[in-house]
Amino acid sequence: MLDHDDFGPEKVITIFNPKVDLHGIVVIDNTALGPGKGGIRMTPTVSVDEVMRLARAMTWKCAMAELPFGGGKSGIIANPKEFSEEKKKELVEAFGEALKQVSPEIYVAAPDINMAEDEMKWFAEANGSSKSCTGKPKDMGGLPHELGSTGFGVFHAAKVGAEYIGKKLKNVTFAVEGFGNVGWFAAKFMTEVGAKLVAVSDSKGCLYNPEGMDFKKLAEVKKETKSVTNYRPGNVMPNKDILTLPVDILITAAVPDLILMSDVPNVKARLIVEGSNIPAKPEVEEALHKKGILVIPDFVASAGGVISSYVEYKGGDEKEMWKLIESKVKRNAQIVLRSAKDKKIKPRDAALEIAQRRVLAKCKTCCTPPSSKG
């Protein structure tokens, strides 16, 4: 039986197309504020449970950012590393065509894992509506996530969080889990203001250099060799070890359910900025909070992408996008951390109170929110 509460999900849709071997999932969690908004991820392990949790995170993310979107998410169960780009295009087009029944009226897609601006072009063209997704190429009026919108927001959330632990970014050490779009740009913006990047990971492993890394050199190594582990100098270790390194700030930027309860005793970072979606379950965050580690939740820290999507959706430009991401992420991070401190609760609980209140204010029918605890 699928988990549900008074907020949603409103629709859980499975898509099958045996002709192209397509198996997809769409979850529209809540549309009180507007059409469900959320990216499409393509991985061999994406599941209904994962998509439901991500869709709920988008409900809160859009509410926190005060955007006219609800929460949604979708997934295509496939491993793009195992087939050609032509096959990937076929799958995305079939998915876009199948979603005509809900998109763009009650679901607006976007890029996510293994999906970028080209895939959004294929999706929109097959769907028949440019409003069916955001993150499209510039020549389609899009603001591609390749501009770095999510990482830019993560950077500003980290800046606010650093102040709460008595640090300035130019004096901190930090680690980035995942060196894809989000991690790449978060590291770029952080190092540009003087923060010292001492650890970074990808699917091949973790590279640790306590003396710090040159971002431009690291980016070149990743591009040329496909892994950050080939950067030198540095020590190569298992990617999960990034959680235990002595840093001021840990930025999560890739794997869901990254931090487990068994990891908590070994986490040394003073601040965790969740640039990835659902990197830890609520009970894990509770344990981190009790340990004195400040955690800025995903739907606050990683809102830059959906804010960019909103600017694209209404026809805005890059200049407006950067300005709006900075103002909204900074403001909401400050509000959440201040509320958490005043009420002596963890930041996620403070953020949930705010997001739920904003959703309920728009609900057409009376509903009682579930407890935000844990």
Within 10 Å of residue 2's Cβ, how many Cβ atoms? Answer: 9
Q: Parallel, antiparallel, or unpaired: how do β-strands 196-202 and 173-177 relate?
A: parallel
Q: Dihedral of CA 167/169/170/172: which sign?
A: positive
Q: Is 167 assigned a catalytic role?
A: no
- Angle at which helix 304-313 crosses helix 318-343, to 10 degrees, equals 140
Two tokens, residue 274: 């969740």
Two tokens, residue 260: 């487990």
Within 10 Å of residue 26's Cβ, how many Cβ atoms? Answer: 27
Question: Is the CB of residue 189 less than 8 Å from the CB of residue 219?
Answer: no
Residue 334: Cβ-neighbour burial (10 angstroms; 0-12, 13-18, 19+): middle
Two tokens, residue 80: 């793009």
Question: Is the CB of residue 173 less than 8 Å from the CB of residue 164?
Answer: no
- Angle at which helix 149-164 crosses helix 304-313, to 10 degrees, equals 140
Two tokens, residue 200: 């970074």
Indicate the length of the chain as a whole number.
Answer: 374
Q: DSSP string of 316-342?
A: --HHHHHHHHHHHHHHHHHHHHHHHHH
Whole-angstrom Cα Rg for the chain: 20
Query: Which of 61, 73, 188, 328 does the annotation list as catalytic?
Result: 73
- Angle at which helix 181-192 crosses helix 149-164, to 10 degrees, equals 50
Two tokens, residue 216: 């431009």
Angle at CA of residue 126, ends 93 and 17, nearest 5°: 45
Separation CA 161–CA 167 (nearest Å): 9
Q: Where in the sequence numbering do the catalytic residues fall? A: 73
